[in-house]
Structure 1
Amino acid sequence: MDERAAGTGTPVAASVEAIFREERGRLLAALVRRFGDLDLAEEVASEAIEAALVHWPSSGVPPRPGAWLMTTARRKAVDRLRRNRAYAARLALLQTDADRAAPAPPADAGGELPDERLQLFFTCAHPALAAEDRLALTLRCLAGLTTPEVARAFLVPPATMAKRITRAKKKIREARIPFRVPGAEELPERLPGVLQTIYSIFTEGYAASSGPLLQRLDLAEEAIRLAHILHRLLPAEREVAGLLALMLLVHARREARTGPDGALVLLDEQDRGRWDRAMIDEGRDLVLIALTGGPPGPYGAQAAIAALHDEAEDLASTDWPQVVALYDVLLTLAPSPVVALNRAAAVTMRDGPEAGLALLDDLADEPRLRDYHPYPAARADLLSRLGRLTEATAAYREALALAGTEPERAHLRRRLHAVEEAARASAPDRTADT
């Protein structure tokens, strides 16, 4: 959302922001499909929001705010085209190319895709774009994430991400990539990019990159909704089932992840009676689909790990050897420092803190973990368990400086205070020993 709109602080502004979060993807997808230009769509969508902030305080929020925004944005787009004939001619050519190239819907769909946003997800996953640019563009434009939020998903600086998004838009213009539904023969190449995009939206919803709340449930639920649509369209795709299973099994814990005051509640302290059992059951059924018919894919392996957590009565009774074995599989399918970090946590539960800390120390020079606060937080926890309180204090301070949300910062402040108190308490004993 435009910073002027988001920062007004009025009730109407808050209402507009909530509506914009809900409608932005639909609005952009429809405008892009109509006019064939992403930059134009973004500009007139922002102008429609600004118009809403002018008119709605006096006239009230309309019964169908999405339709109001769409009508306003389309009028503004038409006005721009009338003022710029050359621009209009170029867009007309793009639209003609898109209409000529549009194939029949995928065979599994039984007709046209039911959500224009999903059509644009596939378009932004076009192989002519670099993989990182495809994901960045879709997260920014369709999911409504801010550039810093997208940067956090990639573990890169916001300025770097802004350049990637600009580069992707330029490539679409220069290569005249049509905005259309891919043909059935194109789906295998496009699908991994779409799955990665949906999962990145969910990740931002599961653990927000900044702000007063730990979770952004609207984003997590939007990702699950899109995955449900995709699974209905492509029921034979095991990794679609795996992704949906993973998100359901993780999202099932949402109510227990924070306390009444919004404070972070770690897995070992959560009231598992508050977990959504219906969502867990659906996720477990999907895990069976994802793991049947051949070796698992990355999402299927992660879903199997999540299922083991959800099936356990408590942290101690979790099948940690099986969790570690699944992380070993995942490291071969999709190696990354974050997967290695999570595996180290599982090894800690199986073999103890010394074994886990050795694995974390092996990741010390990994640049993609340099600004990722769970890494120093994990080291701080293990160092404190091993009685290395001075090092634990430094690690907690490092994690606190990197944490993005207030619940995470509050949790780390409590841990830091406890370690500092323990260090002070032990200081006289060390003096006496010397």
Structure 2
Amino acid sequence: MTPERDLIAEIYADGWSRIVAIMIRLTRDWSLAEECTQDAFARALHTWPTSGVPDQPLAWLTTTARRRAIDRMRRAATEAAKLKEVAAAVEPQPPPYVRDSQIPDERLELMFTCCHPSLNLDAQVALTLRSLAGMSTAEIARAFLVPERTMGQRLFRAKQKVAHAGIPFRVPPAHLLPERLPAVLHVLYLLFNAGYGDPQKTRLCAEAIRLARVLTAAMPDEPEALGVLALMLLHDARQTTRVDAAGALVLLADQDRTQWNAAQIAEGAALCERALRRRRAGPMQLQAAIAACHATAPTAADTDWAQIAGLYAHLASLHPGPVVELNRAVAVSMADGPEAALPLIEAVAASGRLDDYHLLHATRADLLRRTGRAAEAADSYRAALRLAPTEAERSFLRGRLADLPPQS
């Protein structure tokens, strides 16, 4: 890549959400805002390598997107009043952004703005990830475990509802922030997961953790905010040990615990305990407690799987879903043996909701392998192999498949 392209990629990572937000305020149209922002970056890719990088790259991109939006609006306008409004909006530079809320971070503020209660939770989260995190429809679909086409339709409907219902793009007052908090926490954790395990996207993990720190400082009495920060810190503490030098996947039980970040584990565990002491346990706190059980065990053999299974059962009662049940089955298999967990796995499989989720098939394969049902395990490993999203996971599954005893 050229230095200009490297710079554009860096600005895209950090500036996409700011430009989209300005465009949404101008156009009140989510799709148009995204398209004009994308057009601005495309124009930069075309012109900067020959004309040079402008003195203020972000301002150049913002102005380019703004002019494109105004041009599109002008062409679409049919009433004199609209034309007058558009003409009045033309300025050489966008006005400085003035924060009028108690949220001390622009990106976090925009997340609360996008998570409007008139939209359902999934729509809030998906729209925020698309517009403010710059994630593609395909990436968001993988996060939600749905086909890309389905997610595209959800995003379209959400944008249409915003446009037709006249949902205002403004930061809610302080007393309304708690009702939007669950969606914001979901966004932060999905943002973290989008970077977790992908060396090219670790910046997303760092950004999610940074925003969670800002959030806990702004809302110190919200235990779920503490929980999401604890959860991300505990996972991030062992991120560098998840693959070996050759890029092969390393299971949790086989990771070198001496290489885990002890300071992050201590902070995450303390935050989790602080949150749980408020006796308002929520999904993020329970997931953090599970992560703490893993991270604080001196060795894999010391892991309290019975406690983890109990935490998953509690989580399932608060936040039921097939992925929670899948993880509970894994914990039960470690606490009580694979035979006890197989009925739980089969119930998840029978629901059909995780047919395209490789970890369902990989988990089922592992339980079948442990019970000596090699032929059935092989079928499930092959199903997982077809669906695995990364080469590291595919390589691991190929190794497990090759290690099965010969089938009669």
Q: State TM-score, norm by structure 1.
A: 0.85
Residues 159-170 of structure 1: pairs in structure 2 closer than 5 A: 159-170=149-160
Q: For each residue in 1:278-313, what CA deviation from the matched residue of structure 2 results, as whole angstroms up to 9, or x when unmatched?
A: 211221221122102223111111111111111011
Q: Tell me the equivalent position of 1:314.
A: 299
After TM superposition, the structure 1 stretch with the greater mean CA deviation from structure 2, 320-329 or 160-169, is 320-329
Q: Tell me the equivalent position of 2:118.
A: 128
In the TM superposition, what is the alpha-carbon distance from 1:63 to its structure 2 partner?
6.3
Cα–Cα, structure 1 residues 379 and 64, in superposed 2: closer, same or farther, change >3 Å? farther
Residues matched between the structures, number: 398
Residues 265-280 of structure 1: pairs in structure 2 closer than 5 A: 265-280=250-265
Q: Using the alignment, how far apart are the partners of 1:165 and 1:151 within structure 2? A: 10
Q: Tell me the equivalent position of 2:318.
A: 333
Q: Quick check: 2:16–2:134 contact (8 Å CA) kept in 1?
A: yes
Q: Using the alignment, how far apart are the partners of 2:257 and 2:205 within structure 1? A: 20
After TM superposition, the structure 1 stretch with the greater mean CA deviation from structure 2, 120-129 or 243-252, is 120-129
Q: Tell me the equivalent position of 1:423.
A: 406
In the TM superposition, what is the alpha-carbon distance from 1:417 to its structure 2 partner?
1.6
Q: Tell me the equivalent position of 1:431.
A: none
In the TM superposition, what is the alpha-carbon distance from 1:25 to its structure 2 partner?
1.6
Q: Using the alignment, how far apart are the partners of 2:20 and 2:233 within structure 1? A: 27
Letter in 2 for 1:171: K
Q: Quick check: 2:234–2:292 contact (8 Å CA) kept in 1?
A: yes
Q: Tell me the equivalent position of 1:137.
A: 127
Q: Using the alignment, how far apart are the partners of 1:158 and 1:139 within structure 2? A: 14
In the TM superposition, what is the alpha-carbon distance from 1:120 to its structure 2 partner?
2.4
Structure 1 residue corresponding to 2:377, chosen from 392, 397, 401: 392
Asked if 1:46 is matched to 2:31, the reply is no
Secondary structure of 1:364 counterpart: helix
**Larger RCO, structure (CA 8 Å, separation 6 or more):** 1
Q: Quick check: 1:30–1:116 contact (8 Å CA) kept in 2?
A: no
Cα–Cα, structure 1 residues 82 and 115, in superposed 2: closer, same or farther, change >3 Å? farther
In the TM superposition, what is the alpha-carbon distance from 1:119 to its structure 2 partner?
2.4
Asked if 1:304 is matched to 2:289, the reply is yes
Q: Quick check: 2:74–2:83 contact (8 Å CA) kept in 1?
A: no
Cα–Cα, structure 1 residues 170 and 92, in superposed 2: closer, same or farther, change >3 Å? farther
Letter in 2 for 1:52: A
After TM superposition, the structure 1 stretch with the greater mean CA deviation from structure 2, 113-122 or 338-347, is 113-122
Q: Quick check: 2:104–2:218 contact (8 Å CA) kept in 1?
A: no
Q: For each residue in 1:59-93, what CA deviation from the matched residue of structure 2 results, as whole angstroms up to 9, or x when unmatched?
A: 44456533332232223334444545458839959
Secondary structure of 1:316 counterpart: helix
After TM superposition, the structure 1 stretch with the greater mean CA deviation from structure 2, 387-396 or 37-46, is 37-46
Q: Tell me the equivalent position of 2:92.
A: none
Cα–Cα, structure 1 residues 379 and 278, in superposed 2: closer, same or farther, change >3 Å? same
Secondary structure of 1:74 counterpart: helix
Q: Tell me the equivalent position of 1:254.
A: 239
Q: Using the alignment, how far apart are the partners of 1:115 and 1:200 within structure 2? A: 19
In the TM superposition, what is the alpha-carbon distance from 1:52 to its structure 2 partner?
0.9
Letter in 2 for 1:231: T
Q: Using the alignment, how far apart are the partners of 1:417 and 1:323 within structure 2? A: 31
Q: For each residue in 1:147-179, what CA deviation from the matched residue of structure 2 results, as whole angstroms up to 9, or x when unmatched?
A: 111111222111111111011111111111111
Cα–Cα, structure 1 residues 281 and 63, in superposed 2: closer, same or farther, change >3 Å? farther
Q: Tell me the equivalent position of 1:20.
A: 12
Structure 2 residue corresponding to 1:284, chosen from 265, 269, 280: 269
Cα–Cα, structure 1 residues 47 and 315, in superposed 2: closer, same or farther, change >3 Å? same
Q: For each residue in 1:107-129, what CA deviation from the matched residue of structure 2 results, as whole angstroms up to 9, or x when unmatched?
A: xx3xxx33332222122211111
Q: Using the alignment, how far apart are the partners of 1:322 and 1:191 within structure 2? A: 28
In the TM superposition, what is the alpha-carbon distance from 1:393 to its structure 2 partner?
0.7
Q: Using the alignment, how far apart are the partners of 1:91 and 1:300 within structure 2? A: 52
RMSD across aligned C-alpha pairs, in angstroms?
2.6
Q: Percent identity?
A: 50
Letter in 2 for 1:153: A
Q: Quick check: 1:49–1:69 contact (8 Å CA) kept in 2?
A: yes
Q: Tell me the equivalent position of 1:6.
A: none
Cα–Cα, structure 1 residues 82 and 361, in superposed 2: closer, same or farther, change >3 Å? closer
Cα–Cα, structure 1 residues 285 and 267, in superposed 2: closer, same or farther, change >3 Å? same
Cα–Cα, structure 1 residues 415 and 391, in superposed 2: closer, same or farther, change >3 Å? same
Q: Using the alignment, how far apart are the partners of 1:227 and 1:122 within structure 2? A: 13
Q: Quick check: 1:377–1:396 contact (8 Å CA) kept in 2?
A: yes
In the TM superposition, what is the alpha-carbon distance from 1:414 to its structure 2 partner?
1.4
Q: Tell me the equivalent position of 1:241.
A: 226
Q: Tell me the equivalent position of 1:407.
A: 392
Q: Tell me the equivalent position of 1:114.
A: 104
Q: State TM-score, norm by structure 2.
A: 0.90
Q: For each residue in 1:328-365, what CA deviation from the matched residue of structure 2 results, as whole angstroms up to 9, or x when unmatched?
A: 21111111111111111111111112212232122221
Q: For each residue in 1:212-249, what CA deviation from the matched residue of structure 2 results, as whole angstroms up to 9, or x when unmatched?
A: x4773122222222212211111111111111111111
